Chain A
Amino acid sequence: MNNHIVENLKKEIENFKDTLRVEKVGQVMEVFDGIAKVSGLSDIKSSEMVTFPKGQVGVALNLEEDAVGVIILGEFSDIREGDEVKATGRILEVPVSDAIIGRVVNAIGEPIDGKGAIKAEKTYPIEKVAPGVITRQSVDQPVATGIKAIDAIIPVGRGQRELIIGDRQTGKTAIAIDAILNQKGQNMICVYVSIGQKDSKLRKLQVRLEEGGAMDYTVIVSAGASEAAALSYIAPYTGVSIAEYFMDQGKDVLIIYDDLSKHAVAYREISLLLRRPPGREAYPGDVFYLHSRLLERACRRNAKYGGGSITAFPIIETQAGDISAYIPTNVISITDGQIFLETDLFYKGIRPAVNVGSSVSRVGGTAQIKAMKKVAGTLKLDLAQFRELEAFAQFGSDLDESTKASLERGKRSVEMLKQLQYAPVKTEHQVVGFYALTRGYMDDVPVERVKEFEVGLIDYTEQNAKTFYKEIAESKMWTDKGEAELKQAITDFKNNFLAKV
């Protein structure tokens, strides 16, 4: 065994070829707060990697006439004034390989889950220009998130960028986790980028994903709250580079940035330390470009250019519901829609606390499957009407029949959209549920029993409306035959259900 190691080493040493090259060097003039000012280093490129004597890596961000501003990735207490800095000639890159699936890595792609090294032959630059117009294709395949309120009302397509926005503790991460959990067997790779989050939260999440079997297709990129701001700044770009590696193999990827408000704050810190002029809310002038170039890299590529897609779920945390702050408005305008979560709804017990009125999906409609479009098409409008009537109905008791009917339907719709965490619902089950709701089968089911009805109905129809399910699975739409069978099954189940109390 020992001999084997020695032999291997011998071979490696024999094969080692040292290429001589003229290196560009500079000297550290000052170091502070994760930033180093370096003199020399002529001809260095922007975002080129540099190395410090103790092996630390930095990235050149500010190129000035007589100095270079370098952000240090990682620990900087060992770096001293006068230290020699070497330019590497390479733009910052991250190692990628299929072996990265199921792993937790830091912002520069090094494993931090204690499961050993990740063997990687390839590296991808973390900054890349987004795919161009001719390589793209419009969004037309759905991402099934398993969350009823989203799949029915704010559908998301593969290649879309859908913002999840809301105050703290409104279930933003929960939606992202549910979406990842539901990708099992959907031919999707997930990348979860955690930016400035508590390590305890990340650990909880990792365990949750492992329990759900989701780590088989998920990569976690983490830049923790205790790490340098520079790492938080590059983490999302690292994440999307890993995602691009899988997209280049023609795969569909779902990437979650949790969250971009902290990313903007980290970038603000770096920018201020580099003495770039502050703008609104002290963010630097290019904070829009910071997020737009990141989110532009989410796309759906056409088959001629290898296919594959990256769907992005950026998360933004608002302060006291203020979506007109700088970063939220920026990201809202970049993305193809937003899922807006509200504290009020959350405490009313409507969970996920999606505000259906303010949430939109600008491109997801075309990606929704036909059957879902048919059953849930009017749901958004119905809910909007319901809310208006609800406010109005508080003033008088004399309501006409049709108003009462709308109110009753609305109450059941709200009830239907409630869902527990970690309990994604399959698309075909959602179709059955919404079919029963919008076709009026639930109107005489008591509101408090709607949940129970839905669960029972799904169980029952799975047994007694097999044709319907088969049709949905095959052609994404039902035929008259399947519909008749489903109608019969719903009626039978309801009679039974209402009979027992």
Chain B
Amino acid sequence: MATASNNDIAKALFLTLEDKDGSALSVALKNAVSFLQRKRHLSRSEDILTRLSLLEREKKGELEVNIKSTRTLREEDKKYLREILKKRYGDKKFIFLEVLDEKMIGGVRIKIGDELIDLSLKNKIQKLQEHLTRNQ
């Protein structure tokens, strides 16, 4: 049998932990950790945890949106962004994680999962550079 991937383990954990609380939860958690230890998967626990949190977010209908910008976004910008993101990702609860980055010169850079929408000035300049060197 193929070895279980981190994703498989995270899914399995999610399903077992989903409807538990209190002492049942702590027993299940303990079992999960000892399972990982028995199978020598403890080194993978960090990745499994990230995947687990992704699954939880998905269940709650949340979507993490990483935003990089040079200035803090205004509320109306965020509202506008939500509207646009809704068109692509459906009606989700968008959780904005904002980071400031002066090096981008201007614009925003939005990352959701492994999808990237790069509207930064830096990216534009880079593309222009490529364009110019290619058509010298």
Give A contacts to B, CB under 8 Å. Answer: 9, 12-13, 16, 18, 20, 22-26, 40-42, 65-66, 86, 117
Contact = CB atoms under 8 A, between A and B. Distances in A.
A66 B5 CA distance: 7
Given A16-B127, A16-B132, 13 more contacts: A9-B132, A16-B128, A16-B131, A20-B119, A22-B115, A24-B114, A25-B114, A40-B113, A42-B113, A42-B114, A65-B5, A66-B6, A86-B116
A40 B119 CA distance: 21
A23 B118 contact: yes
Contacts of A16: 127-128, 131-132
A40 B114 contact: yes
B7 interface: yes
User: Chain A CB within 10 Å — which of B47, B114, B116, B117 has the most?
Assistant: B114
Contact of B115 (A13, A18, A20, A24): A24
A18 B127 contact: yes
B133 to A, nearest CB: 9
Given A65-B7, A66-B6, A23 B115 contact: yes
A164 B80 CA distance: 67
B135 interface: yes
Interface in B110-136: 111, 113-119, 124, 127-128, 131-132, 135-136
Nearest to B111: A25
Contacts of A86: 116
Contact of B117 (A18, A20, A117): A20
A18 B124 contact: yes
18 contacts: A12-B132, A12-B135, A13-B128, A13-B132, A16-B128, A16-B131, A16-B132, A18-B127, A22-B88, A22-B115, A23-B116, A25-B111, A25-B114, A25-B116, A26-B114, A41-B114, A66-B5, A66-B6
A23 to B, nearest CB: 4
Interface residues of B, number: 20
Contacts of B119: 20
Nearest to B130: A55
Contacts of B5: 65-66
B117 A22 contact: yes
A13 B124 CA distance: 12
Nearest to B131: A16
A28 to B, nearest CB: 13
A117 B116 contact: no
A117 B114 contact: no
A197 B119 CA distance: 45
Nearest to A95: B134
Interface of B: 5-7, 47, 88, 111, 113-119, 124, 127-128, 131-132, 135-136
B131 A12 contact: yes
Nearest to A84: B116
Contacts of B113: 40, 42
Nearest to B115: A22
Nearest to B118: A23
User: Chain B CB within 10 Å — which of A23, A42, A117 has the most?
Assistant: A23
A117 B6 CA distance: 47
Nearest to B128: A16
Contacts of A65: 5, 7
B107 to A, nearest CB: 11
A41 B88 CA distance: 18
A22 B84 CA distance: 13
A26 B88 CA distance: 20
B108 to A, nearest CB: 12
B132 to A, nearest CB: 6
B86 to A, nearest CB: 15
Contacts of B7: 65-66
A9 B136 CA distance: 9
A22 B113 CA distance: 12
A40 B116 CA distance: 11
Nearest to A29: B47
Contacts of B128: 13, 16, 18
B22 to A, nearest CB: 32
B6 to A, nearest CB: 6
A117 B134 CA distance: 9
Contacts of A66: 5-7, 47
Contacts of B132: 9, 12-13, 16
A41 B115 CA distance: 8
B131 A25 contact: no
Contacts of B131: 12, 16
Contacts of A24: 114-116
B67 to A, nearest CB: 15
A86 B131 CA distance: 17
A12 B135 CA distance: 8
Nearest to A9: B132
A65 B132 CA distance: 38
B121 to A, nearest CB: 11
User: Chain B CB within 10 Å — which of A13, A24, A40, A66 has the most?
Assistant: A66
Nearest 8 CB-CB pairs, A to B?
A: A40-B114, A23-B116, A25-B116, A65-B5, A22-B115, A16-B131, A18-B127, A42-B114
A65 B3 CA distance: 11
A226 to B, nearest CB: 26
Nearest to B5: A65
Contacts of B135: 12
